[in-house]
Amino acid sequence: MKNKWTYPERVDHMRFTKKNQQNVLNEIDSPPQKKKSRKRFYGGLTAAVIVILLLGGTAFIPNIESVVAKIPYISQFIKEEEQRMDQMESILDVINLVVEENGMKIGDLQVQVEEKEAKVHLIGLSGKNKSVTDQINSQLEKAGFTSYDVKVVPYEEEEEIQTERSKEEIEQDMQNSKALKTSLTERLKAQGYELMFPVSVRINNKEGIYMNVIVPESEKRLKQLKKIMKEEAKAYGDEYKLDVRQVQKIAREQEKRWQETGAIGHIGRALMEAKDLHVTGYAYSFHPYPLQLKIKTSLESDNPKASQIAKKIHSEIDLFIQSNEETQTIRDDRYNVIVLSKDKEEIKVE
């Protein structure tokens, strides 16, 4: 279960090197942080590709056709964002093909869309930087991606992080966590428990055995639930922590509907790119019902235009939800939007 308030992060730089691989193994030693990202895999890549969509510093401005057609701003933003992602995938395909033809692998790749720059870190590069660079530039040109500044450099491995525990010990804890999660989930379902969220289990040398089960607020068999959790944990040790929570079923159902549409992420990213709205961030909570969406701005409370801008933010959100084809399942949902000033005071809408 997420915390009551969730603050989505905008990630501009992502790396997945040996250091990050070790971090994954270390994850069992600390509470996990859920992240959501768009993924695409390439056979010749040994690490995740880095894609930097440099939108920061440039305001998103709907094109004239969308203005004339009165297409909602957020919907237009989503459309253009998807077009940018399709463009990025095409660029990655071109670069990866050239690299594979040269018998090398990509260790790291950074692409800056707005600046038209690409930096390719290659495993196995030895003295033919210019040749590979020219080939990439040529293929990008043929694919319609002109004037890109491409740099090719050798890939340098990062040192692995040294931990107190061995890789084998950490992997064993991960396997035990997965096994306990499976057995506990199956038993609870067999006993007729309705799980509002997937069962969460962590086994490590810091927490011992941590188990989290979330059921509806109407569930009365909590003592029996905890007994089952203890019995399932015995096979893995005597030190355990039981985390049993209850939530409103109506709130969880709303949360799932909104997650399927991706509406909150779309709303947040679009509003943050519109300079005239002065949005700096957003937070949301589904529990308790109904959804509450907080929009943070850089506006001072006494700004004479604050109320007008807040009204526009409300309007853009409502228009998107009521008109976008992907939001049909949430149009009848209740939700509250709160626009906050720089000093975290609610900006009232007249």
Q: Give the whole-angstrom CA distance, residue 21 versus residue 11.
A: 18
Q: Which residues pair with 296 in a beta bridge?
A: 281, 340
Phi and psi at residue 171, in whole multiples of 5°? Answer: -65, -35
* Direct distance between the N- and C-terminal alpha carbons of the chain, in angstroms, rounded to an integer: 36
CATH class entry, domain 167-246: alpha beta
Contact criterion met (CB below 8 Å) for 267 and 334:
no
Percent of the chain topping pLDDT 90: 60
Structure tokens at 41: 């895999």
Percent of the chain topping pLDDT 70: 78
Predicted confidence (pLDDT) per residue in 246-260, tens digit: 999 999 999 999 999
Phi and psi at residue 320, in whole multiples of 5°? Answer: -60, -50
Average pLDDT over residues 140-152: 91
Q: What is the pLDDT of residue 165?
A: 81
Q: Rank 44-58, 142-156, 198-212 by mean pLDDT and report only the highest.
A: 198-212
- Ranges in the chain annotated CATH 3.30.70: 252-340
Residue 300 has pLDDT above 90, yes or no: yes
Average pLDDT over residues 228-250: 96
**Three-state DSSP string of 73-141:** HHHHHHHHHHHHHHHHHHHHHHHHHHHHHCCCEEEEEEEECCCCEEEEEEECCCCCHHHHHHHHHHHHH
Structure tokens at 90: 């095409």
* pTM of the shown model: 0.69
Average pLDDT over residues 196-212: 96
Number of H helices, E strands in the chain: 9, 10
Q: How many CA atoms lie within 13 A of 114 on its CB side?
A: 11
- Sheet hosting strand 240-247, strand order edge to edge: 200-204, 208-216, 240-247
- Ranges in the chain annotated CATH 3.30.300.30: 167-246
Structure tokens at 255: 């949360």
Structure tokens at 303: 């700004």
Structure tokens at 160: 């692995």
**Alpha-carbon separation of residue 152 from 112, 139, 146, 176 (angstroms):** 14, 15, 17, 43
Q: Give the whole-angstrom CA distance, residue 247 versus residue 294.
A: 21
CATH number, domain 252-340? 3.30.70
How many other C-beta atoms lie within 10 A of the C-beta of residue 317? 22
Predicted confidence (pLDDT) per residue in 16-42, tens digit: 344 444 444 444 444 444 333 343 444
Least confident of 157-166, 172-181, 213-222: 157-166
- Sheet hosting strand 50-52, strand order edge to edge: 50-52, 105-112, 117-123, 149-154
